[in-house]
């Protein structure tokens, strides 16, 4: 089968000045993004979440196979079940599995096994990676560059949510197989991130931390 192509649509060139301005404005917006653990229960309009998910769906992926599934959780009952299961895994992590070096790295963030935000925040988005897809006849179709593709789509989603005025937290209890059971997702999907989404509470506090400078994380050749 020969590939089909179409003209590039929607691209418009910018002057150097406009490029620099757009890049700086985006930088300033993203500098204000923080991982939040103190959420307000105020609900989020469905249309906002849907638009942000559509933005995530525009991400590039290996062979354009789009190996992701986003499960949106709003039900208080389901959020409660997720919190109970996540905190059980987190207690075991903090008390038994985590090496001291890892605990030392987490210390400046002030985290522990208690995760009330899983119930307080109005929305959880569980991001699943699909190692393969299933055809209607049961045959498997392998996906490629799954971790890379899902990581890019997750980044798109976090930025879209931030641009829409929402706060997020990337929560990764491990292992996360309980999410497949609670959300009734098939075995070909692996949960990678539990994204907590909402408005920060009025008294929200965040860790006093910094980011590496450009010279520390980039090189130019």
Q: pLDDT tens-digit profile of 130-183?
A: 999 988 888 899 999 999 999 999 999 999 999 999 999 999 988 999 999 999
Report yes or no: 157 and 56 within 8 Å, Cβ to Cβ: yes
Q: Report the pLDDT averaged over residues 78-93.
A: 96
Side-chain-side CA neighbours of residue 182 (13 Å): 22
Q: Categorize the per-residue pLDDT at 36 as very low, low, confident or very high, splitting at 50, 70 and 90.
A: very high
Cis peptide before 175 (omega within 30 of 0): yes
Residue with tokens 């520390």: 216
- Cα(first)–Cα(last) distance of the chain, in Å? 40
Distance from C-alpha of 67 to C-alpha of 49, rounded to nearest angstrom:
20
- How much is the pLDDT for 135? 83
- How much is the pLDDT for 1? 78
Decide the pairing of beta strands 189-198 and 167-171: antiparallel
Q: Report the pLDDT averaged over residues 191-208.
A: 97
> What pTM, to 2 d.p., does this model score?
0.95
Residues above pLDDT 70, as percent of the chain: 100
Q: Categorize the per-residue pLDDT at 102 as very low, low, confident or very high, splitting at 50, 70 and 90.
A: confident
Give the burial string for 183-193 (b: 16+ CB within 10 Å, else e).
bebeebbbbbb
Mean pLDDT of the chain: 95
Element (H, E) at 158: helix 146-163
Summarised one tens digit per residue, pLDDT across range 42-71 is 999 999 999 999 999 999 999 999 999 999
Q: Report the pLDDT averaged over residues 31-35.
A: 96
């Amino acid at each position: 089968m020969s590939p089909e192509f179409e003209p590039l649509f929607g691209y418009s060139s910018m002057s150097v000045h406009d490029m620099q301005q757009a890049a700086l404005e985006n930088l300033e917006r993203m500098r204000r993004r923080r991982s939040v653990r103190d959420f307000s229960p105020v609900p989020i309009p469905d249309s906002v979440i849907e638009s942000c998910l559509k933005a995530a769906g525009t991400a590039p992926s290996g062979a354009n196979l789009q190996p992701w599934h986003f499960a949106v959780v709003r039900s208080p009952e389901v959020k409660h079940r997720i919190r109970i299961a996540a905190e059980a895994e987190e207690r075991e992590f903090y008390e038994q599995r985590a090496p001291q070096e890892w605990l030392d790295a987490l210390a400046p963030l002030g985290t522990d096994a208690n995760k009330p935000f899983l119930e307080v925040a109005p929305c959880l988005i569980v991001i699943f990676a699909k190692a393969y897809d299933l055809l209607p006849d049961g045959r498997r179709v392998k996906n490629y560059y799954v971790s890379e593709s899902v990581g890019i789509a997750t980044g798109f989603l976090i930025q879209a949510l931030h641009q829409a005025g929402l706060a997020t937290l990337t929560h990764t209890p491990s292992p996360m197989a309980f999410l497949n059971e609670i959300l009734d997702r098939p075995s070909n999907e692996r949960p990678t991130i539990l994204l907590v989404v909402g408005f920060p509470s009025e008294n929200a506090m965040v860790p006093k931390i910094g980011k590496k400078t450009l010279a520390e994380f980039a090189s130019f050749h």
